[in-house]
Amino acid sequence: MEPQASSPAAEKPPAVKEAVKELHILWTPDGMSCDGDTISVTAATLPSIEDVVLGAIPGLPKVHLHNRVLDAQQGGDQIMQYWHQAAEGTLGAPFILVVEGSIPNEEIKSQGYWTAMGVDKRTGQPIRLNDWIDRLAPKAWAVVAAGTCATYGGVHAMQGNPTGSMGLADYLGWDFRSQAGLPIVNVPGCPVQPDNFMETLLYLLYQAAGLAPMIPLDELLRPTWLFGKTVHEGCDRAGYYEQGDFAREYGSPKCIVKIGCWGPVINCNVTKRGWMDGIGGCPNVGGICIACTMPGFPDKFMPFMDEPPGAKMSSAVVLTYGATIRRLREITNRTASREPRWRQRTTVLNTGYHPTTYHEPAPATVEKTMIEAPITGAAS
């Protein structure tokens, strides 16, 4: 799981420098997957798939998207032709390979296969996903893992599973480099947050067009600007946490750390970004964060409804401090909620205004003063 030091093999593919004018996206949901990431991305707005595919965004290369779920016009052999052409090197334009779902270990059994896509015309046998990855990844302009299954193994890689499933970087190697010299780009989430995925794709398309520098990734190969902060840092309920005000049951608007939220230690931006068009975001709307973006998900964070072990200590400390602060703030809030005493209807001026330079002019001089003296400011 740990990123490996770069090996000479990792530097082999020559970096593609020319600006790309046209590009294919070969996106397979046929890893060990539920297709949930493909479905999730249909909700993206920043940008939407339609905007990218229909050329509505200035500066991008012309994009041809091939995904058997999203492509309503093509299926079966029609859609597989692009995969065969990419493998043969006859596609005619660079391509980005998007893998959704974890990669099974096909080496640990004597017969059958875990997941496959299309048919080998010579043998009539299904072509295993692993074979497609072996053929296409070294030829791809970039390789993207969509969702936590593809990035780190996810649900199918849980302890005790028979498939030996793993993430793409564990399969290809953490020091893999694409034709353009890029590491694998990981966009985790179960499913992936729609705009996180499309924004990453948009970045790569701008990079391919020569309009953006190398995509910034952290040591787990995630875009740094999307996964650099914790759920807790963007959570609508963080004020309750800070005041030691914890929910004991679902349905409460308070902080839900005591009933299972892992937000303080999880890298994810949905509390800031929301899920669809800015709406939602797990703890914001009452759902505990179950750490679905993380490499150890799900095993490491189960059982989901229990208070995370680390939260016991930190919330105990916050409880003491927070309860005191909350009481003091309640007092201040009560005084802040009252109007100042001088905002009452009376016959005398009681604002505390005590002029030292202003005097009521004598009636005989009023007219002269108003004509001769320019108005320079209130009561000055």
Q: Which residues bind ligand SF4 (CB under 6 A)?
A: 33-34, 36-37, 100-101, 147-149, 154-155, 189-191, 231-232, 235, 237-238, 241, 255-257, 261, 263-264, 266, 268, 270, 282-283, 289-293
Q: Are strands 22-28 and 95-100 parallel, antiparallel or unpaired?
A: parallel
Select 91 or 190, whichever has its Cβ closest to ligand SF4: 190
Shortest approach of ligand SF4 to residue 266 CB, angstroms? Answer: 5
Select 118 or 153, whichever has its Cβ closest to ligand SF4: 153
Beta bridge partners of 68: none
Provide CB contacts within 8 A for 242, sequence distance 6+.
318, 322, 325
Select 20 or 41, whichever has its Cβ closest to ligand SF4: 41
Select 119 or 319, whichever has its Cβ closest to ligand SF4: 319
What length is written for the chain? 380
Select 183 or 244, whichever has its Cβ closest to ligand SF4: 244
Shortest approach of ligand SF4 to residue 347 CB, angstroms? Answer: 52
- Closest residue to ligand SF4, based on beta-carbon distance: 263
Q: What is the 3-state secondary structure (H, E, C) of 22-75?
A: EEEEEEECCCECCCHHHHHHCCCCCCCHHHHHCCCCCCCCEEEEECCCCCCCCC
Select 135 or 254, whichever has its Cβ closest to ligand SF4: 254
Shortest approach of ligand SF4 to residue 3 CB, angstroms? Answer: 21
Q: What share of the chain is helix, strand, coil (3-state, %, to 5)?
A: 35, 10, 50
Nearest Cα to Cα of residue 143 among 173, 106, 107, 104: 173
Alpha carbon separation from 237 to 147, 179, 261, 308, 375 (Å, rounded): 26, 44, 11, 17, 52
Select 140 or 289, whichever has its Cβ closest to ligand SF4: 289
The two three-digit tokens of residue 102, written as one number: 């974890």
Rounded CA separation 35/52 (Å): 20
Select 61 or 263, whichever has its Cβ closest to ligand SF4: 263
The two three-digit tokens of residue 190, written as one number: 């179960």
The two three-digit tokens of residue 81, written as one number: 């032709």
Rounded CA separation 283/240 (Å): 12
Q: Look at the alpha carbons of 346, 351, 356, 357 in this order and tell me if their dihedral is positive or negative.
A: negative
Buried b (16+ CB within 10 A) or exposed e, 262-300: bbbbbbbbbbebbbeeeeebbbbeeebbbbbbbbebbee
Rounded CA separation 227/224 (Å): 5
Select 22 or 299, whichever has its Cβ closest to ligand SF4: 299
Amino acid at site 134: D
Alpha carbon separation from 41 to 35, 36, 37, 38, 47 (Å, rounded): 10, 9, 6, 5, 10
Shortest approach of ligand SF4 to residue 241 CB, angstroms? Answer: 4
Select 117 or 231, whichever has its Cβ closest to ligand SF4: 231
